[in-house]
Structure 1
């Protein structure tokens, strides 16, 4: 049996932001139609150890049946070493025999598919004329989100804020080579967010980085950085005032610090979640209701997103002769 191995360069070659956004539409539609079996992720946090490990299995039925598993370590100090905070692998298995079909770089898949889901949410929920983008964070996901959102809205202005001034300046300088508009480095999150109608939070902060009074009427927020119960980027007032959309309800009420902190303060509850993104995609739930409504998509990242990404990459690699095949 031969197994396909795709490194980060192969993944980026095959998985463009536009292709990834279409794939995430497929993944979340399948989830909404109950074609996916996906338990909550298991997170391993050894006392005293650096980082954590998340294990994310899933199965998709129907005409694209397959098993998938992502095992990823999250080390938030890695960017200081010039490495992605997410390190691991995505495995793709045959639904017919259980044989391993592919091993792929999880950092690159996570980077691209996470931004693609935000682009899909933006396309569904943001006002059609939205184009003033604020990004909080200046790492891997900031770069990926700028590229992905430029594919679904015509950007007029991009402002970025972050904790490390040097890293922020470097990001703005590098983005100038490919961003559709110049990237402005701001001294504060407030300066970046004020007046923006598209907002992305992709930080590693454990405390809110955004405040309700900064947010303009009609803005759309993609809250991405926090994926654990003990950290949040969004303040309680914003969570309470926004129309809240999620990738998956079960994951949100169990894993999202943005949700859980606000819920603990009595500001929101399960009924505050208007819909899963997939339900909006299939027309089973409404999206934005008016131009002044603040919409917020809380992204956690789902195993089915990795499975669908790997399945698409496997097919493309076969078609184009990309990657390395090894006997297993």
Structure 2
């Protein structure tokens, strides 16, 4: 690769080269750096392009002497799949010495993988060490990447998959049945009551997961809702859980279920007990007992995308 070349990493390249274990480590370092003030990012800006259509921009820098760039994505309805939307876009990366753009990376595939890697990283920190039962709520692309990432941090003996479309649930179970102990979920309250880890990965606009269903010691990853409006979990769950955010500032701005619970007077801003980076840096405690219910709010951040893109670029260099 000549110095003047602009590298292009398409979706196929990202899938082939962004290893899940490596991405978990990359995201872990990125979240510690964010909480430590070593990276910088702005809150995302969004232009509404009509009903259900959004264009978003997320700039950031991995450090004063490190790579920087921006993620730009469109979130539009998926043709032929009512109620679902796709995140399409690019991540543009610049090198820190001369400020040259050095690579363009497919943002959709990076988002799929790094989101699941962030969930796995948080699960490793917050879930009970003996967690053996996983419930995946959702049947889309994020369900698939989470099924690849989460077994890297816990030895799950049972994995139930729940979705609103039984045909998609069956297809997902069939896809992973040769590699994982997966099965279709039964009645949802009973499945939640037996789960050690629950992941909400849907586009639900109203709560699909109730706090009263959770058993002591459960860990919940709240992933599907990434802005004000759609709420996957109810306010009782927010109030019951030790609530950890990937970024406090972003959660106060866009964590839908937290904002609803706060508006209802059930919690205050102090209910966000820590950023995940603060726990990784051992500045704040994570899980404090085996019976504690923990929740991780994943909103996704530019520094996660930029760190994953920088890893791809650096690992491609001779």
TM-score (norm 2): 0.95
Say whether the 8 Å CA contact 2:78–2:85 is kept in structure 1.
no
Give unpaired runs (5+ residues) of structure 1.
320-328
SS in 1 for 2:189: helix
Partner of 1:39: 42
Distance 1:121 1:200 in 2: 11
Please give the alpha-carbon distance, in whole angstroms, between the structure 2 residues aligned to 1:177 and 1:92: 38
Q: Which of these residues, 47, 50, 53, is aligned with residue 51 of structure 1?
A: 53
Cα separation, 1, equivalents of 2:280 and 2:80: 35
Q: CA deviation at 1:62?
A: 5.3
Secondary structure of the 1:2 match is coil
* Structure 1 pair 78–220 and aligned structure 2 pair: CA distance change class (3 A): farther
Q: 66-75 or 214-223, which moves further after superposition?
A: 66-75
> How many angstroms does 1:100 deviate by?
1.0
SS in 2 for 1:86: strand
Please identify runs of 4+ aligned residues in structure 1 that moved more than 4 A. none
Q: 1:77 & 1:186 partners in 2: Cα distance?
A: 26
Describe the shift of the 1:79–1:151 C-alpha distance in structure 2 as closer, same or farther (beyond 3 A): farther
Matched residue of 1:233: which SS? coil
Count of matched residue pairs: 314
Q: How far does residue 313 in structure 1 lie from its aligned partner after superposition?
A: 0.4
CA distance in 1, matches of 2:249, 2:45: 14
Structure 2 gaps, min length 5: none
- Indicate if the aligned counterparts of 1:84 and 1:107 stay in contact, CA closer than 8 A: no
Superposed counterparts of 1:248-287, under 5 Å? 248-287=247-286
Q: Are 2:12 and 1:21 equivalent residues in the alignment?
A: no
2:77 and 2:179 map into 1 onto residues whose CA distance is 27
Give me the whole-angstrom Cα distance separating, in 2, the residues matched to 1:78 and 1:97: 42
**2:48, 2:191 → 1: CA distance?**
34
Q: Which residue number corresponds to residue 246 of structure 2? A: 247
**Which residue number corresponds to residue 153 of structure 2?**
152
Kindly state the Cα deviation for residue 194 of structure 1 after the two structures are TM-superposed.
2.4
Question: 1:162, 1:53 → 2: CA distance?
Answer: 27
Deviation at 1:192, TM superposition (A): 3.2
String of CA shifts for 1:55-89, please: whole Å, max 9, x gaps. 110012155x11121111112435829x9711111
- Relative to structure 1, is the Cα distance of residues 274 and 138 closer, same or farther in structure 2, using a 3 angstrom cutoff? same
Deviations 1:226-251 (A, max 9, x none): 00101111100000010000000000
Tell me how far apart the structure 1 counterparts of residues 173 and 27 of structure 2 sit (CA, whole Å). Answer: 28
Deviation by residue 1:151-195 (Cα, 9 ceiling, x = unmatched): 00000100011111111111111011332x2x1112543343221
Structure 1 residue 145 displacement after superposition? 0.8
Q: d(CA) in 1 for partners of 2:154 and 2:172?
A: 21
Alignment of 1:1-328 (within 5 A): 1-46=4-49, 48-61=50-63, 65-77=66-78, 80=81, 85-179=86-180, 181=181, 183-319=182-318
